[in-house]
Amino acid sequence: MTGWRARLRRWQPVPQQVGRLALVFVVLVGGLVGARRVFVPATFGDRGHYRASAVPAITALEPKYAGHEACAPCHAPIVEKKSLSYHRGVACEVCHGPQAQHVMAPLDHRPPAPRTRAYCPLCHGYNPSRPTGFPQIDPVVHNPVRPCITCHDPHDPTPPHPPESCAACHGEIARTKAVSYHAQLPCTQCHVVDPRHVTSPRQIRPGKPTTRAFCGQCHARDAQSAPDIPRIDLDTHNPGYVCWQCHYPHSPEAH
Amino acid sequence: MATGRGPAGAGTGDATDASRRDFVMAVCAAAASPVMLDVVAGPEAAPPQSDEPRPYDPREHYYGMGIDIDKCIGCGRCVEACKSENNVPRDAHHFRTWVERYVITSDGETVVESPNGGADGFPVPAGEAGVLRSFFVPKLCNHCANPPCVQVCPVGATFTTEDGVVLVDEDYCIGCRYCIQACPYGARFLHPVKRVAQKCTFCYHRVVRGLLPACVEVCPTGARIFGEVHRAASPLTRFTRFNQIQVLKPHLNTRPKVLYANLDGEVR
């Protein structure tokens, strides 16, 4: 104890207040270093102004989508068929959903397949905002009610042949006509249809009747047609008008 | 001899040539030796390296994304995939990526909408006849090279990795929302349950495994392209070479790494 005091007395040349200030300084610096040690996370600043250990925590998350290369080893025929079709750029998981679990345990997790009419129009429903040339249909009139997969194989969506009946695209008109007096008439009775209209519907338009005389082929007083077809006198029946200004040919009214 | 050329060295021509040849040989040998060593030692040294996949080194990569507006059909599969892959809350207010539809009418008015982020598709625009042009714009975090969100974070919970991806440290975030305010692209949101900031990570957990981000994986038309920004052989480099590239809000000097092709001037 006395030795300690004797040693301190030797420090007398340093003023007492400077010694105290030094003590305060040491305590402050020590507190700062201690606080830093407690509050700054262990790996903070290792690679930048962040916790380096956050990166492995993020990379440890498990992917839910297996990726487009995971399917081919087991489903080679379907992948091969799809790779030659218009859907070659569409990954399997677009329609079948995230399937990393299916890759790990194929039998425990079966991928769903959308089979309803609601799914395909997400891409192929007509919308003027979509880029020009992208294949689109109007779900209301395009073969109503039938699921898309009855005609289109999603793995090779090109239909086996161009539409055969006009109802494929003009369903609304076909349904109206089917319950009208004109039900028995084929569309080509009145419309001149270029065969190319089937593949380029908007470029090649079908022809429509333009004269009163066309309807008169069946409905004129002197027409060579079945006797139960209603007749009018073309000369006196509202001259100056064309027929379809009053009559809708796909559903002409009753007698 | 001293200079090895001109009349002064003519008398000692043989000696000069010999020493010159020696010199050239020595230089050649010295230059070739490391190459030769590599060639000879290569086959023995290389296989142990190439046998097992090397661990992921972020310093070898620098990622970006390309988006081709002319290819986007607005199907919203990317939004759906992002929500599945990243457990994003399934409500209509929280998205890591979303699709906007721009409708520009013939009287010059621009309508931007994104019902449920575009995940359910888009209705046919009302008043279709007056539409001058219309298109879809997929949006996500731009992973800026100069990110304002990182700059404002008071605790260092959001950061740029060495491969150029801006991430959020969820365990360290205090949920103060400065970054959400700072992001000029609206790409961040506060997770309603965890109360931390969240955003697109370029699916970092997939990328380090060599997979594509989920939105790129499922895009049916190839409107989204993911790749290295600076590498000569990269899908993104090809994309930038074949398209006029624009970025969102270039005047803010955030230097985004999400690059848009065929972007309309109306898009903000």
Q: What average pLDDT does the segment B253-260 reach? A: 96
Report the greatest alpha carbon distance in chain A.
Answer: 146
Task: Tell me if A55 and B167 make a contact (CB, 8 A cut-off).
Answer: yes
Lowest mean pLDDT among A53-62, A216-225, B9-18: B9-18
Confidence band of B5 (pLDDT split at 50, 70, 90): very low
Report the greatest alpha carbon distance in chain B.
Answer: 99
Give yes or no for residue A155 having a pLDDT over 90. yes
DSSP A232: B
Confidence band of B34 (pLDDT split at 50, 70, 90): very low
Q: What average pLDDT does the segment B251-267 reach? A: 94
Q: Which position has the higher pLDDT, A26 or B41?
A: A26
Closest CA of chain B from A124, distance in Å: 9
Confidence band of A1 (pLDDT split at 50, 70, 90): low
For residue A25, the tally of other CB atoms under 10 A from its CB is 10
Give yes or no for residue A195 having a pLDDT over 90. no
DSSP A85: S
Beta-sheet strand order (sheet of B110-113): B110-113, B97-105, B131-140
Which residue in chain B has the smallest CA separation from A123?
A: B75
DSSP B129: G
Q: Where are the alpha helices (DSSP H) in chain A?
A: 2-10, 16-39, 54-59, 76-83, 92-96, 100-104, 121-124, 171-178, 212-219
Q: How far apart are CA A247 and CA B11, in angstroms?
A: 119
Q: Which distant-in-sequence residues (6+ apart) come within 8 Å of A159 by Cβ?
A: A151, A152
Residue in B15, B235, B219, B189 with CA at minimum distance from that of residue A91: B219
Q: How far apart are CA B32 and CA A233, in angstroms?
A: 106
Q: Which position has the higher pLDDT, B205 or B22?
A: B205
Q: Where are the domains of chain A?
A: 188-255
Cβ B2 vs Cβ B15: under 8 Å: no
DSSP A106: T
Give yes or no for residue A116 having a pLDDT over 60. yes
Residue in A95, A86, A98 with CA at minimum distance from that of residue A118: A95
Q: What digits encode the pLDDT tens for the residues B154-176?
A: 999 999 999 999 999 999 999 99
Give yes or no for residue B37 having a pLDDT over 60. no
Of the candidates B134, B161, B171, the beta carbon closest to that of A129 is on: B134
Q: What digits encode the pLDDT tens for the residues B121-134?
A: 999 887 777 889 99
Give yes or no for residue B149 having a pLDDT over 60. yes
The residue among A40, A44, A59 with the most chain B CBs within 10 A of its CB, best to mutate, is: A59
CB contacts under 8 A, B 227-266 vs A, are none
Residue B197 bridge partners (DSSP) = B190
For residue A49, the chain B residues in CB contact (below 8 A) are: 156, 159
Q: Which position has the higher pLDDT, B21 or A1?
A: B21
Task: Tell me if A129 and B128 make a contact (CB, 8 A cut-off).
Answer: no
Residue in B167, B144, B164, B166 with CA at minimum distance from that of residue B256: B144
Give yes or no for residue A138 having a pLDDT over 70. yes
The residue among B70, B71, B75 with the most chain A CBs within 10 A of its CB, best to mutate, is: B75
Q: What digits encode the pLDDT tens for the residues B200-246?
A: 999 999 999 999 999 999 999 999 999 999 988 899 999 999 999 99
CB contacts under 8 A, B 150-209 vs A, are 156-162, 167, 169-172, 201, 203-206, 208-209
Of the candidates B73, B81, B170, the beta carbon closest to that of A134 is on: B73
For residue B56, the chain A residues in CB contact (below 8 A) are: 59
Burial of A79 (0-12, 13-18, 19+ CB in 10 A): middle
The residue among B205, B208, B216, B224 with the most chain A CBs within 10 A of its CB, best to mutate, is: B205
Cβ A217 vs Cβ A223: under 8 Å: yes
Task: Tell me if B161 and A55 make a contact (CB, 8 A cut-off).
Answer: yes
Which residue in chain B has the smallest CA separation from A61?
A: B205
CB contacts under 8 A, B 78-107 vs A, are 81, 84-85, 101, 103
pLDDT exceeding 90 applies to what percent of chain B?
72
Of the candidates A41, A49, A123, the beta carbon closest to that of B220 is on: A123
Q: Report pLDDT for B117.
A: 95
Of the candidates B124, B208, B218, the beta carbon closest to that of A91 is on: B218
Q: Report pLDDT for B10.
A: 42
Query: How far is residue B73 from each of residues A124, A223, B34, B220, B258, measured CA to CA in Å?
Result: 9, 53, 55, 9, 19
Q: Report pLDDT for A12.
A: 67
Closest CA of chain B from A94, distance in Å: 5
Q: How many CB pairs under 8 A join A and B?
A: 121
Residue B78, H or E segment: helix B77-86
Q: How far apart are CA A23 and CA A27, in angstroms?
A: 6
Q: Report pLDDT for B40.
A: 45
Q: Which position has the higher pLDDT, B77 or A1?
A: B77
Return the exposure string of A161-187: e unless at least 16 CB atoms fall within 10 Å of the residue's CB, then b.
eebeebbbbbbebbeebeebebeeeeb
Task: Tell me if A128 and B221 make a contact (CB, 8 A cut-off).
Answer: no
Q: What digits encode the pLDDT tens for the residues A15-25?
A: 889 989 999 99
Render A111-170 in DSSP notation, one character per residue: PP---STTTTHHHHB--TTSPTTS--B-TTTSSTTS-GGGT-BTTB-S-SSS--SGGGT-
Give yes or no for residue B16 having a pLDDT over 90. no
Q: What average pLDDT does the segment A149-153 reach? A: 89
Q: Report pLDDT for B38.
A: 47
Confidence band of A8 (pLDDT split at 50, 70, 90): low
Task: Tell me if B135 and A57 make a contact (CB, 8 A cut-off).
Answer: no
Task: Tell me if A128 and B124 make a contact (CB, 8 A cut-off).
Answer: yes
Q: How far apart are CA A196 and CA A101, in angstroms?
A: 48
Which residue in chain A has the smallest CA separation from B150?
A: A49
Q: How far apart are CA B186 and CA B183, in angstroms?
A: 6
For residue A114, the chain B residues in CB contact (below 8 A) are: none
Phi, then psi, of B16 in degrees rounded to 5? -60, -45
Q: What digits encode the pLDDT tens for the residues A161-178?
A: 777 788 877 877 888 888
- CA B100 from chain centre, in angstroms, equals 21
For residue A68, the chain B residues in CB contact (below 8 A) are: 217
Asked whether the CA dihedral A228, A234, A239, A241 is positive or negative, the reply is: positive
Q: Report pLDDT for B50.
A: 57
Which residue in chain A has the smallest CA separation from B124?
A: A127
Give yes or no for residue B11 having a pLDDT over 70. no
Cβ B204 vs Cβ B139: under 8 Å: no
Q: Where are the domains of chain B?
A: 7-47, 59-261
Give yes or no for residue B6 having a pLDDT over 50. no
Confidence band of A248 (pLDDT split at 50, 70, 90): confident
Instruction: Give the CATH number of domain B59-261.
Output: 3.30.70.20
pTM: 0.73
Q: How far apart are CA B7 and CA B4, in angstroms?
A: 9
Q: How far apart are CA B227 and CA B232, in angstroms?
A: 11
For residue B84, the chain A residues in CB contact (below 8 A) are: 64-65, 97-98
Return the exposure string of B200-225: e unless at least 16 CB atoms fall within 10 Å of the residue's CB, then b.
bbbbbbbbbeebbbbbbbbbbbebbb
Task: Tell me if A58 and B201 make a contact (CB, 8 A cut-off).
Answer: yes
Q: Which position has the higher pLDDT, B262 or B52?
A: B262
Residue type for B209, please? R
Q: Report pLDDT for B82.
A: 97
Q: Give the CA count within 13 Å in the CB-facing half-sphere of A128.
A: 15
Question: Hey, is B197 helix, strand or coil?
Answer: strand
Q: How far apart are CA A62 and CA A38, in angstroms?
A: 32
Q: What average pLDDT does the segment B140-149 reach? A: 97
Q: Report pLDDT for B130.
A: 85
Lowest mean pLDDT among A10-14, A180-184, B81-85, B231-235: A10-14
Q: How far apart are CA B259 and CA B243, in angstroms?
A: 10
Q: How far apart are CA B88 and CA A28, in angstroms?
A: 46
ipTM: 0.77
Confidence band of B35 (pLDDT split at 50, 70, 90): very low
Structure tokens that stand for B209 in this block:
């495994």
